[in-house]
């Protein structure tokens, strides 16, 4: 068959035209209060103030599935859902006006919204005009379509639904508050009601062929506002999968659900770069579309995505997810998380997919941590510089160009800065990030002392400036010297339970007493080795720290 219906529809005729369903594989409600919801409101406001007779509201693409006699929204689910949320807010205000004043027009509008545009629902009868996907369906029904929000939202999409309702409610409430009569309030609400329903227009396309629905979706979105790669890819996979579409749908939904709140597009890019030639995000969709172009390739692709999503969750949230049984791997991943490193993900994904043992993965992740520390943290090289390196290594693993962990190790080690270069850079190293400073000092302390380890929790360990951030009367330091040496790593240490806010700008001898009682070797050593503290002391301590740095992040230790 093909396109059954095409043309421009007002929101009024669109919502009354059919009963609509949002497929389970579509994204949950994603419009954000301060972004798309605010744009929706601003468009309404301008259309009213400028007395526009027509406002183009975007497009909707509908697939009529004749096998189950349902109409699915393939494109346009966000604007459709938001329109129903706004109508629910109007419904509740019209009902309040009628309840307070018995205004018959308000009663009629309340009934029209309830019956014509939202629909009724009971345990025995479902006459709702719109049914969302399974994640949002019940919350939306019970807190928008039946009554105003009363339940505490649990899912992020539910929070966004509630925030959209409250945003519209708050804006209208402010406008109504300055009006004195119920008639004036009714007329104000009526303006918004009529503007949305009668003057907001949609380009409506309906087809009974799912493949064609996805082609239309992709064509309509090829220009103008960019869609997420994940959205375009999902539709490409469904369109290309033919008779295997249910299998592809199921694996796609499992993958997205498993990733939870992780950015699906970022996952796709790291996954792609773990087994295919390197791609930037702007080229990613085109690359995948041109490669995954048959039903069999679609099913293999989404199956692999599903399998690797568990690994990816651990890479992104190593303190919460534990794909690996080796605790050393999880610890190194936490370190890399502290350093905001992610360009290495393709290497780990490729090693996991090609069934490398945990001890080999641990070796490579530890080496990557050393590279990131030496090259990016200390040498200041941009982490993105190593994206291609890691992607190329991952590709060679996937294509069996690299078959042993020794070869992976050598490829990465060859890129790491030498000890001499590291020493020259470390002499003058100042820390810009508190998290990075805590990481460096924690790792040095843990390397020095196997018995008293600093916990890997930045909320429970405190960064101490020996020469304080605010000098006060106890420190006779030149302002330029203070500025130059304040954030040098040699001027920093860690405090645990002995931390005291009142210690911040006290004299060094007072601080030294606290340092001496510390259980942390890196802090206690300051009190033992120094009687005064100035720029020479900071330089000396920084040189002492480097001795431990070279050993802790030793490229020959693996």
CB 138 within 8 A of CB 33: no
| pTM higher than 0.85 | no
Structure tokens at 280: 């930037």
Instruction: Please count the residues of the chain.
Output: 558
Q: For residues 394 and 228, what is the distance between their CA atoms, to the nearest angstrom?
A: 25
**What is the percentage of the chain residues whose pLDDT exceeds 90?**
63
Residue 215 has pLDDT above 80, yes or no: no
CB 125 within 8 A of CB 137: no
Q: For residues 96 and 93, what is the distance between their CA atoms, to the nearest angstrom?
A: 5
* Residue whose pair of structure tokens reads 């526009």 in the numeric block: 52
Q: For residues 240 and 238, what is the distance between their CA atoms, to the nearest angstrom?
A: 6
| pLDDT confidence tier of residue 537, bands split at 50, 70 and 90 | very high
DSSP string, 403-439: -SHHHHHHHHHTTSPPHHHHHHHHTT-B---HHHHHH
* Residue whose pair of structure tokens reads 């050598």 in the numeric block: 410
Mean of per-residue pLDDT scores for the chain: 89
DSSP string, 236-249: HHHHH-GGGHHHHH
When pLDDT is averaged across residues 508-526 and rounded to a whole number, the result is 89
Structure tokens at 434: 């508190």
At residue 541's C-alpha, the angle toward residues 535 and 543, to 5°, is 105
- Which of 430, 444, 543 shows the shortest CA–CA distance to 487? 430
CB 527 within 8 A of CB 513: yes
- Dihedrals phi, psi of 267, to nearest 5 degrees: -60, -45
What SS3 class is residue 336? helix
Q: For residues 359 and 324, what is the distance between their CA atoms, to the nearest angstrom?
A: 10
Residue 223 has pLDDT above 70, yes or no: no
Residue 226 has pLDDT above 60, yes or no: no
Give the tens place of pLDDT for each residue, 372-422: 999 999 999 887 889 999 999 999 999 999 999 999 999 999 999 999 999
At residue 446's C-alpha, the angle toward residues 443 and 450, to 5°, is 160
What SS3 class is residue 358? helix
Identify the weakest region by mean pLDDT among 91-100, 228-237, 353-362.
Answer: 228-237
CB 332 within 8 A of CB 366: yes
Residue 225 has pLDDT above 50, yes or no: no
C-alpha atoms less than 13 angstroms from C-alpha of 521 in its C-beta half-sphere: 14
Give the tens place of pLDDT for each residue, 229-264: 888 888 888 888 888 888 998 999 899 989 988 999
Element (H, E) at 484: helix 479-485
What SS3 class is residue 430? strand
CA distance between the termini of the chain: 63
CB neighbourhood size of 365 (10 A):
25
């Amino acid at each position: 068959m093909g396109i059954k219906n095409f043309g421009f529809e007002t929101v009024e005729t669109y919502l009354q035209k059919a009963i609509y369903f949002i497929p389970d594989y579509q994204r949950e409600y994603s419009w954000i209060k301060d972004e798309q919801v605010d744009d929706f409101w601003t468009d309404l406001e301008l259309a009213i103030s400028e007395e526009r007779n027509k406002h183009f509201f975007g497009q909707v693409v509908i697939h009529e599935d004749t096998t189950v006699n349902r109409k699915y929204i393939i494109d346009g689910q966000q604007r459709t859902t938001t329109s129903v949320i706004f109508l629910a807010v109007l419904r509740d205000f019209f009902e309040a006006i009628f309840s307070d004043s018995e205004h018959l027009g308000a009663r009629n509008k309340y009934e029209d919204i309830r019956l014509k545009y939202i629909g009724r629902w009971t345990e025995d009868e479902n006459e709702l005009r719109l049914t969302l996907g399974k994640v949002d369906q019940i919350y939306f029904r019970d807190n928008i379509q039946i009554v105003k929000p009363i339940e505490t939202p649990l899912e992020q999409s539910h929070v966004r639904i509630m925030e959209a309702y409250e945003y519209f409610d708050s804006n209208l409430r402010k406008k109504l508050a300055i009006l004195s009569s119920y008639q004036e309030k009714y007329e104000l609400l009526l303006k918004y009601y009529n503007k949305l329903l009668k003057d907001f227009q949609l380009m409506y396309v309906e087809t009974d062929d799912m493949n064609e629905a996805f082609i239309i979706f992709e064509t309509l979105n090829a220009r103008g506002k960019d869609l997420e790669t994940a959205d375009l890819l999902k539709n490409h996979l469904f369109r290309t999968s033919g008779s295997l579409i249910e299998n592809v749908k199921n694996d796609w939904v499992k993958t997205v659900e498993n990733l939870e709140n992780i950015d699906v597009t970022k996952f796709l890019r790291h996954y792609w770069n773990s087994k295919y030639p390197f791609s930037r995000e702007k080229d990613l969709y085109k690359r995948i579309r041109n490669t995954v172009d048959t039903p069999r390739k679609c099913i293999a692709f989404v199956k692999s995505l599903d399998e690797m999503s568990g690994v990816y969750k651990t890479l992104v949230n190593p303190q919460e997810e534990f794909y690996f049984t080796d605790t050393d791997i999880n610890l190194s991943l936490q370190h890399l998380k502290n350093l905001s490193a992610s360009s290495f993900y393709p290497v780990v994904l490729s090693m996991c997919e090609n069934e490398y043992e945990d001890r080999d993965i641990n070796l490579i992740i530890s080496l990557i941590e050393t590279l990131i520390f030496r090259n990016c943290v200390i040498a200041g090289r941009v982490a993105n510089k190593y994206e291609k390196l890691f992607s190329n290594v991952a590709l060679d693993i996937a294509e069996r160009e690299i078959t042993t962990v020794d070869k992976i190790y050598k490829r990465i080690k060859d890129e790491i800065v030498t000890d001499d270069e590291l020493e020259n850079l470390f002499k003058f190293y100042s820390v810009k990030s508190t998290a990075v400073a805590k990481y460096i000092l924690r790792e040095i302390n843990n390397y020095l002392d196997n018995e008293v380890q600093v916990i890997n929790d930045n909320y429970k360990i405190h960064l101490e400036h020996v020469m304080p951030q605010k000098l006060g009367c106890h420190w006779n330091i030149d302002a330029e010297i203070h500025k130059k040496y304040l954030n040098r790593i040699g001027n920093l240490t860690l405090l645990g339970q002995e931390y005291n806010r009142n210690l911040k700008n006290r004299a060094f001898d007072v601080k030294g007493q606290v340092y001496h009682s510390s259980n942390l070797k890196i802090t206690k050593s300051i009190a033992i080795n120094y009687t005064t503290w100035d720029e020479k002391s900071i330089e000396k301590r920084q040189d002492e720290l480097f001795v431990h740095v070279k050993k802790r992040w030793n490229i020959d230790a693996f």
